[in-house]
Amino acid sequence: MTLTIAKEQRRIAIIGGGPGGLTLALILQKHGIPSVIYEREQEDKSHERGGSLDIHEESGQQALKEAGLYEAFQRLARYEGEDFRLFDKTGRCYMDEVVEEDVQGERPEIDRGELCDLLLSKLDPSTIRYGYKLDKAVSLAGGMTELHFENGFVDKVHLVIGADGTFSRVRPLLSDTDVDYTGLTMFELNVTDAANRYPDLAAFNRRGKMFALDDNMGILAQLNGSGRIKVYVSLKAEREWLEASGITADQPQEAKAQLLGLIQDWEGELQNYIRYADDAVLPRRIYMLPAGFKWKRNSGVTLIGDAAHVMSPFAGEGVNLAMQDAMELALAIVRHEGNTAKAIEEYEEKMYAYSSEKARESYDNLVLCFSDNAAPKFAELMNFYHGQHDGA
Ligand SMILES: Cc1cc2nc3c(=O)[nH]c(=O)nc-3n(C[C@H](O)[C@H](O)[C@H](O)COP(=O)(O)OP(=O)(O)OC[C@H]3O[C@@H](n4cnc5c(N)ncnc54)[C@H](O)[C@@H]3O)c2cc1C
């Protein structure tokens, strides 16, 4: 009886309805534990919801199994999306991996929007409130947290979980540490309907990812499920370089011309990733938290995903860690129902160990990818990983 009352009275709020927050709410729901997600965006499927993500067997796929969505995921997953090509600026090819027909690899691809829709398809719609942007969170005496939203709404909860990404508004409750610029600036472009409009580029890119690395720069491209090729033109640059460069989102044609100028001595097929792109360029700096980042424990507040350990995308782990965190935290809450402090302690200790290892790997990969002779060095690294994995 006492337990039931405690269960009914404990209010859990998740800030952010990305892959991490949705997975968490869904696994809790599966175990009969209600929560509310506050998401700043509106429920609008038409806006940009991110590129293709590879979902790893040991983390993201495990979380989907816990959420009861693994079979549905397998039907959507693009196993052929694991194809990978690696070039230097002259067009010399260092890796050309093609997934064989009917082979199901361990890291199939799915678009971020599709993954979120999949998670939402099983979530009780009343769990998520759209258009609620957290402005600030305030710790109250007695351990509860007061949540203040930009629309004027205020809530009071026993447990708040920050799943609100890189610039988390929950993180300041736990730590003064802020994200650091990694030294990498990226320009996101899209080549829409590549197969029909630009068959030469589609044939060059094939079904998965293409990396071209040279001169401390990179063209990173991935075919998305929607048929567009998402392209990240990336370069090592001082933090202030972006403003000084004059490359801005509101002048996309000029921005594309300037980006082409940066790679004017690169092989023509590589330049086509910019030449054929739509007239929309999104510049972004890439941020990270220090590898091994920890915070002061609080029995009513914790973080998952990018809010806890944002890192550069060069270990391909961001979404997988977010989903693994969600699974570990949800299962700890289930195991220790009524004892949130214990659940948080168990989750955080486990998460610190696995995420810090990935954060170091991600940083090392970033440094390597933007160093001299990056393409052969990256090929060597990938072959080493493959060898390890095959038990060689
Ligand atoms: C260029 C790039 C390429 C990437 N490529 C890969 C890859 O190949 N593989 C991979 O695994 N990962 C990749 N990532 C990383 C991956 O996208 C993230 O790690 C992953 O989405 C993290 O999930 P999350 O749920 O923690 O946070 P997010 O996906 O960032 O979701 C956070 C959610 O919180 C909401 N939110 C934010 N602030 C507030 C607020 N104040 N109030 C309410 N809601 C809020 C946001 O709208 C969003 O819905 C890449 C990232 C970048 C930048």
The yes-or-no verdict on residue 389 having pLDDT over 90 is no
Mean pLDDT of 66-87: 93
- Residue carrying structure tokens 């993500």: 53
DSSP state letters, 112-180 = HHHHHHHHHHHS-GGGEEET--EEEEEE-TTS-EEEEETTS-EEEESEEEE---TT-SSGGGT-S---E
> Domain containing 36 — which CATH number?
3.50.50.60
The yes-or-no verdict on residue 37 having pLDDT over 90 is yes
Is any ligand 1 atom within 6 A of the Cβ of residue 220? Answer: no
Is any ligand 1 atom within 6 A of the Cβ of residue 82? Answer: no
Enumerate residues 6+ apart whose C-beta is below 8 A from 120.
Answer: 22, 128
Give the pLDDT of residue 3. 40
Ligand 1 centroid from CA 336, angstroms: 28
Mean pLDDT of 235-252: 95
* 307 is a domain residue: yes
Domain identity same for 55 and 161: yes
pLDDT band (50, 70, 90) for residue 6: very low
130-154 per-residue burial string, b: 16 or more CB within 10 A, e: under 16: eebebeebeeeeeeebebebeeeee
Atom of ligand 1 nearest to the CA of 52: 8
Of the candidate ranges 60-74, 88-102, 289-303, the one whose mean pLDDT is the lowest: 88-102
* 87 is a domain residue: no
Domain identity same for 168 and 35: yes
* 315 is a domain residue: yes
**How far is it, in rounded angstroms, from Cα 257 to Cα 315?**
30
Is any ligand 1 atom within 6 A of the Cβ of residue 293? Answer: no
**How far is it, in rounded angstroms, from Cα 114 to Cα 124?**
18
Mutation pick for ligand 1 pocket among 14, 306, 325, 362 (CB with most ligand atoms within 8 Å): 306
DSSP state letters, 322-377 = HHHHHHHHHHHHHHTTT-HHHHHHHHHHHHHHHHHHHHHHHHHHHHHHTSTTHHHH
Ligand 1 centroid from CA 50, angstroms: 8
Is any ligand 1 atom within 6 A of the Cβ of residue 127? Answer: no
**How far is it, in rounded angstroms, from Cα 269 to Cα 86?**
13
- Residue carrying structure tokens 């801005």: 248
Q: pLDDT tens, 312-371?
A: 998 889 999 999 999 999 999 999 988 999 999 999 999 999 999 999 999 999 999 999
The two tokens of residue 295 are: 């915070």
Domain that holds residue 268: 180-288
Number of C-alpha atoms within 13 angstroms, CB side, residue 368? 16
For the chain, what is the mean pLDDT?
93
Is any ligand 1 atom within 6 A of the Cβ of residue 318? Answer: yes
Ligand 1 centroid from CA 391, angstroms: 33
Mutation pick for ligand 1 pocket among 48, 53, 133 (CB with most ligand atoms within 8 Å): 53
Mean pLDDT of 226-254: 95
Give the pLDDT of residue 5. 38
Domain identity same for 334 and 364: yes
Domain identity same for 41 and 56: yes
Domain identity same for 166 and 111: yes
The yes-or-no verdict on residue 391 having pLDDT over 80 is no
Number of domains observed in the structure of the chain: 2
Is any ligand 1 atom within 6 A of the Cβ of residue 208? Answer: no
Give the pLDDT of residue 120. 96
The two tokens of residue 153 are: 């709404």
The yes-or-no verdict on residue 65 having pLDDT over 50 is yes
**Domain edge (last residue) among 288, 315, 330:** 288
Please name the residue ranges forming H helices in 150-219. Answer: 194-197, 199-205
Ligand 1 centroid from CA 7, angstroms: 30
The yes-or-no verdict on residue 1 having pLDDT over 50 is no
The yes-or-no verdict on residue 392 having pLDDT over 60 is no
Ligand 1 centroid from CA 112, angstroms: 9
161 neighbors 305 (Cβ within 8 angstroms) = no
The yes-or-no verdict on residue 121 having pLDDT over 90 is yes
Burial class of residue 355, CB neighbours in 10 A (0-12, 13-18, 19+): buried
Q: pLDDT tens, 263-276?
A: 999 999 999 999 99
pLDDT band (50, 70, 90) for residue 46: low
Ligand 1 centroid from CA 21, angstroms: 10
Is any ligand 1 atom within 6 A of the Cβ of residue 169? Answer: yes
Mean pLDDT of 40-45: 86
pLDDT band (50, 70, 90) for residue 103: low
Atom of ligand 1 nearest to the CA of 19: 25
**Domain edge (last residue) among 261, 288, 315:** 288
For atom 35 of ligand 1, the residue with the nearest CA is 16
